Amino acid sequence: MLPRLLDLGRISLPTYGVLSALGLILGLLICVKLAKREGIDPDRAWNLGILSIVAAVLGSKLMLLVTDWSGVTAELPGIFTRQTFSALLHGNTQDRHAAAALSLIQAGGVWYGGLLFGSLVAILYMWRHRLPVLKTFDAYAPGIAFGHIIGRIGCFAAGCCYGKPTDEPWGVTFTNPLAAYYSGTPLNVRIHPTQLYEAAANSVIFLVLLWLFRRKKFDGQVLGAYFFLYGVARYFLEFYRDDPERGSVFGGAMSVTQLIALCLVVTGGLLWLRRTAPQPVPATT
């Protein structure tokens, strides 16, 4: 669609990067605002958000390397060289290793990797500064969902995370060669707009989480709902995805992403069940 917002030769502005940054900023603003309502120190909330964002970006790239290891390892030795750095600096994307490095940099990464690594770093930060873990995650869940909406629109603009061929009237056709170059998007083929499917699903989830946040009965309720709802949505959305960056498990029975989605569903359910579990009756003398 529109992989680059600006292209001035050596200087280019990728649409995905701009929208991802916008999603992170707006999502973080929502997180901090909701954290204040939970009585969390705003400075701690900002620091937690920024640290988690950095960790999420790194985690998404690491998960990309894991799930697409065979495709990356062939170019990996040549990426981290002085010649490749010089080629990137001078805008020489004709160099094979420079093109591979640029593709790795501009690739959105695997979102689940960002969620898992970002959550791990967030938990360590909360433990270090004695923040209530579940209460804090309840405040951050709606903001994460909102940022994900804008991020998926960025994916649609870039052509990554594309869907399978379809004859449905709402199918989309990508024609920009940059989408094929950086993401392997099939051109001139009507495919499912899976990026927009997920953006729509996250929009519904965001509204549900906001509604639930104002009415929550226990800490962890909003987080549990987010895990459950997004896990269900992502599991079924995977059947329409056609990009090869998610890996597979159990002999190809499901993708790694679907396995993680099921884990999120179970975790979300457990967070709700812990509230409804019967409490032990105190012993009487």
Is 4 annotated in a binding site? The answer is no
At 3 the three-state DSSP class reads: coil
CA distances from 233 to 62, 147, 164, 203, 261 (A): 24, 16, 17, 12, 8
| CA 144/CA 132 separation, integer angstroms | 18
Please say whether the beta carbons of 235 and 268 come within 8 A.
Answer: no
Interacting residues of 61 by C-beta distance below 8 A, sequence separation 6+? 104, 107, 109, 113
b (16+ CB within 10 A) / e for 62-77? bbbbebbeeebeebee
Burial of 6 (0-12, 13-18, 19+ CB in 10 A): exposed
Cα dihedral 92→96→102→106 (10° resolution)? 130
Annotated binding site: 152
